A and B are shown apart, each in its own frame.
Chain A
Amino acid sequence: MTPSTRKIVTFEKVAKHFGAVKALNGVDLHVDRGECLGLVGHNGAGKSTLMHVLAGTLSPSFGTIAVYGEDITSSYDVGVANANGIRCVFQELSLCPNLTVAENTRIFHPSLKGWGWKRRASALIRTKLDEIFPDHGILPDDIVGDLSIGKRQMIEIARAFTVTEAPLNLVILDEPTSSLDAVTSAQLLDYVRRVGGEDQSCILISHMLGEVLEYTDRIAVMKDGAVVANRSTKDFDRDSLVKAMGNVVEMAEIQKHEACERVRGETPLVLEAATDGADSVAFRAHKGEIIGLAGLAGHGQTALLLKIYDAATKRRPDLRIDGPLALVAGDRQTDGIFHLWSIAQNIGVRSLPRMVKRGLIDPLAETALGEEWKDRIKIKAPDMNDNILSLSGGNQQKALFARALASDASITLMDDPMRGVDVGTKLEVYDLIRAEAEKGRTFLWYTTETDELKNCDHTYVFREGVIVADIARVDLSEEIILQSSFKEHA
């Protein structure tokens, strides 16, 4: 394979149609050696579909794919992509949960065989994890299913960068930082920049415009299945990028809403939880408050949310909850989606008791609820009776939001729910959450994005399962959160 051209992959007029839906509508794009290409766009703009075509898991309806200048559209599949060193880290994680980290590495590398393959696979993945994520705390013998989604994401990424027989030319990272906290995200992006110098290319798909602007060489903007802008990163700034995506809402909107400040304790306490640890701060939520749960990923935030959720059905002495609960899952495949059901059924499942008439569920009420939320939360779907999996990842997430917001719950738990959701949608959902909070609903919001915490009236910072700080909105800053997250190491 002689690199006669610097273009690793070239797409010409690539289109992909699913029935009447044109997910890709003639895309022209190429990736150079050693380049980091940013790919941005709204949910459903076609980014993930394009990457599936590139990874060989979907074949295009029209158009040509050329690798090193050679047209290989007809024979292109996963095997060819692998042989040409094209790897992909998809948004939906692909590790086998019942196997260990080392075993998952072995699946990726058939050449690790014979005596001692396990030792070699362990060494391979450990080295790469150490290289990308120092202090990752993952052992090769860990069972993947026992690890948090953040750690699973780290393994998935590290595995994509390991090399045995097949070459490594291009790694596609689809929303890699959405499950990672600030520290590990930075580690990953620094690594991507380092390997760029070694002639390895990356495609970074992200809704975090900041990291795209800071770490990529070139940015391609997608809209409605086509590339609408494709320029050097130097020629973009935040505003022009947002404009190119066709997004009229400015980021400044968030700040505007911070004006509405509320004095704590005016409304009744609806939730109180004691966490383990002697010097832990008590966790409290009042009616109508938005409470943030922050800190490094996997330090007990999700565990607390689940503990609170379970306490709704089983009384616990250390928890006091006043009102029905609903949960918005972040890990939507494992915790949220019913994959055989339609979008409307997925939204309605939490509200079924309300729709019962004379002992039977009223199908009209279910359809009506689906249509109502299709408009309210702008789910991009031709028909709410379509299967939930026909939606893009971000739209699936919207359906899960709709499920919780449509329910009778007065307290909503959110487990890092904005994974893979685009900026425009996020702002819409933030507005919705604030509006609902005004009406007296309480939100507990675990997020790995510091920007989102600005929506919260109070933020609790977690470290090793213990709440180490309680920060009011006025005092909130990235520094103070990082400081509390790392106190003991500082």
Chain B
Amino acid sequence: MTHVRQIVEKPWIWSFVGMFLVWLATVLYTGGTGATQVITAALSFATFTVIVGIGQMFVITTGPGNVDLSIPSTIALSGVLAMKIMGGSDAMLAVGLGASLASGFAVGVFNYMLIRLLRIPPIIATLSSSFLILSTAIAYGRGLKIKPPRMLADFTSAQVAGVPILAVVIILFAVGMSILLNRTLYGRSVLAIGQNMRAARLAGIRVERIRFATYTLSAVLAAITGFLLAGFSGGASLNMGQEYLLASIAVVVIGGTSVAGGKSNVPGIWGAAMFMFLLVTMLNTFGASAGIRLILTGIIIVTVITIAGGDKPAR
């Protein structure tokens, strides 16, 4: 009994429950056809949402007001930069990845400088920097559609028995990130800062270093997403990151991370990312029109958050 209760009390369980219900509804509607294919597709697409979602989760965990809105443009910049540098050649793969990571690091440093040195609220700082980043991507990429190197394209779309290889890699990565959050000094510091920044400073935590690391981590993860996504979808485009603005925040919240900060978990991000993809698939299967689809998506997300976020006050 206590085991059951322990599991029910985990905030991330609800995203998996939602994911399962939505999948079940889809499969029942189609009479069982495509039951496994839809999971494969969900794994493939959720992978990208998970990577940016984890970065966003660390940022949101550092407390109210902290959010990274520059994720979409960082994805675009990184994708465009890497594709152009690699020029479709496998030999340049490492250089392209390096450039992509460097661009993410630079964005993170820039975001943090705006927040720290100019004391701009994170929501404004990352929003305004996203315009600068996107302009850089436009100036650099200039409408070229370059194919990704073959090895990258193969890697990002490879499957073994219907399981995408990339999804397995990112599941392992998520395990690592979960350990980073719960078992390292960095993770604990993030959780402490999110609860009470002042108390964290007075408990000996180097608050500003941790915030710097967090914004940089988020930007680097967005850059990795851009790199992989460009490989997966056959090239980079300037609007390739667009849908990840809201998706990155939604998966964090649906996954059971507290928007008030200080409390988060990694498994929920996987559940939520799968849920979001399967939800749209389900509505498409039902033949819902675009308008109905958006309305239902909104309602269902609110419902899940209400159930999942049903946090009792601590006292």
Residues of A within 8 A of B (CB): 309, 313, 325-327, 329, 334-341, 349-350, 352-353, 356, 359-361, 363, 387, 389-390, 403, 407
CA–CA, A359 and B199, complex, Å: 24
Taking a contact as CB atoms closer than 8 A, the residue among B196, B204, B206 that contacts A350 in the complex is B204
CA–CA, A433 and B191, complex, Å: 30
Contacting pair B202 A329 (CB below 8 A): yes
Name, among A326, A340, A363, the residue most crowded by chain B CB atoms within 10 Å (CB to CB): A340
CA–CA, A341 and B263, complex, Å: 9
CA–CA, A341 and B204, complex, Å: 17
Inside 8 A of B46's CB, which chain A residues have their CB? none
Name, among B183, B206, B263, the residue most crowded by chain A CB atoms within 10 Å (CB to CB): B183
CA–CA, A403 and B205, complex, Å: 13
Contacting pair B199 A336 (CB below 8 A): yes
CA–CA, A353 and B206, complex, Å: 12
Q: Of residues 167 to 217 in B, which have CB atoms within 8 Å of A's CB atoms?
A: 179, 183-185, 188, 191-192, 195-196, 198-200, 202-206
Name, among B191, B196, B205, the residue most crowded by chain A CB atoms within 10 Å (CB to CB): B196
Contacting pair A337 B199 (CB below 8 A): yes
User: Quick one: CB contact mask for B197-241 with A, threshold 8 Å, 1 for yes?
Assistant: 011101111100000000000000000000000000000000000
Known: A340-B263, A349-B188. Contact between A334 and B314, CB under 8 A?
no
B262 close to A (CB within 8 Å): yes
A-B contact count (CB 8 A): 66
Known: A352-B185, A360-B184. Contact between A339 and B314, CB under 8 A?
yes
**Closest-CB distance, A349 to chain B (whole angstroms):** 5
Contacting pair A338 B198 (CB below 8 A): no
Contacting pair B314 A340 (CB below 8 A): yes
Q: Which residue of A lies closest to B314 (CB)?
A: A389
Inside 8 A of B183's CB, which chain A residues have their CB? 360-361, 363
Known: A313-B206, A349-B203. Contact between A339 and B184, CB under 8 A?
no
Inside 8 A of A349's CB, which chain B residues have their CB? 188, 192, 203-205
User: Quick one: CB contact mask for B242-272 with A, threshold 8 Å, 1 for yes?
Assistant: 0000000000000000000011000000000
Q: Pick the 8 closest A-B CB pairs, nearest first.
A: A360-B183, A338-B195, A389-B314, A389-B315, A327-B202, A349-B203, A340-B262, A350-B203
Contacting pair A407 B204 (CB below 8 A): yes
Name, among B183, B196, B199, the residue most crowded by chain A CB atoms within 10 Å (CB to CB): B199
Inside 8 A of A403's CB, which chain B residues have their CB? 203
Q: Which residue of B lies closest to A356 (CB)?
A: B185
Between-chain CB contacts (< 8 Å), 13 pairs: A313-B206, A329-B199, A329-B202, A334-B199, A337-B199, A338-B192, A338-B195, A338-B262, A339-B314, A340-B191, A341-B191, A341-B195, A363-B183
Inside 8 A of A359's CB, which chain B residues have their CB? 184
Contacting pair B202 A309 (CB below 8 A): yes
Q: Which residue of B lies closest to A58 (CB)?
A: B315
Contacting pair B188 A334 (CB below 8 A): no
Known: A389-B314, A389-B315, A390-B315. Contact between A361 and B195, CB under 8 A?
no
Inside 8 A of B198's CB, which chain A residues have their CB? 334-335
Contacting pair A339 B195 (CB below 8 A): yes
CA–CA, A335 and B198, complex, Å: 6
Inside 8 A of A356's CB, which chain B residues have their CB? 184-185
Q: Of residues 272 to 315 in B, which have CB atoms within 8 Å of A's CB atoms?
A: 314-315
CA–CA, A304 and B203, complex, Å: 17
Taking a contact as CB atoms closer than 8 A, the residue among A326, A329, A336, A352 that contacts B188 in the complex is A352
Contacting pair A361 B185 (CB below 8 A): yes
Q: Which residue of A lies closest to B261 (CB)?
A: A340
Contacting pair B185 A353 (CB below 8 A): yes
Contacting pair A361 B188 (CB below 8 A): yes
**Closest-CB distance, B94 to chain A (whole angstroms):** 26
Inside 8 A of A334's CB, which chain B residues have their CB? 196, 198-199
Contacting pair A387 B314 (CB below 8 A): yes
Inside 8 A of B188's CB, which chain A residues have their CB? 349, 352, 361
**Closest-CB distance, A267 to chain B (whole angstroms):** 24
Contacting pair B179 A360 (CB below 8 A): yes
Q: Which residue of A lies closest to B182 (CB)?
A: A361
CA–CA, A361 and B315, complex, Å: 28
Contacting pair A340 B195 (CB below 8 A): yes
Contacting pair B184 A361 (CB below 8 A): yes
Q: Which residue of B lies closest to A18 (CB)?
A: B315
Contacting pair A335 B202 (CB below 8 A): yes
CA–CA, A338 and B204, complex, Å: 13
CA–CA, A127 and B198, complex, Å: 34
**Closest-CB distance, A455 to chain B (whole angstroms):** 23
Taking A335-B202, A361-B184 as given, write out 13 further A-B residue pairs in contact, using a Cβ cutoff of 8 Å, ordered by the A residue number. Answer: A309-B202, A334-B198, A335-B199, A336-B203, A338-B192, A338-B200, A340-B314, A349-B192, A350-B204, A360-B179, A389-B315, A403-B203, A407-B204
Inside 8 A of A350's CB, which chain B residues have their CB? 203-204
Contacting pair A336 B262 (CB below 8 A): no
CA–CA, A56 and B262, complex, Å: 30
**Closest-CB distance, B231 to chain A (whole angstroms):** 31
Contacting pair A338 B196 (CB below 8 A): yes
Q: Which residue of B lies closest to A341 (CB)?
A: B195
Known: A326-B204, A360-B179, A390-B315. Contact between A338 and B199, CB under 8 A?
yes
Inside 8 A of B195's CB, which chain A residues have their CB? 338-341
Inside 8 A of B206's CB, which chain A residues have their CB? 313
CA–CA, A334 and B195, complex, Å: 10
CA–CA, A313 and B198, complex, Å: 15
Q: Which residue of A lies closest to B185 (CB)?
A: A352
Inside 8 A of A326's CB, which chain B residues have their CB? 204
Inside 8 A of A337's CB, which chain B residues have their CB? 196, 199
**Closest-CB distance, A405 to chain B (whole angstroms):** 13
Q: Which residue of B lies closest to A415 (CB)?
A: B202
Inside 8 A of B199's CB, which chain A residues have their CB? 329, 334-338
**Closest-CB distance, A306 to chain B (whole angstroms):** 8
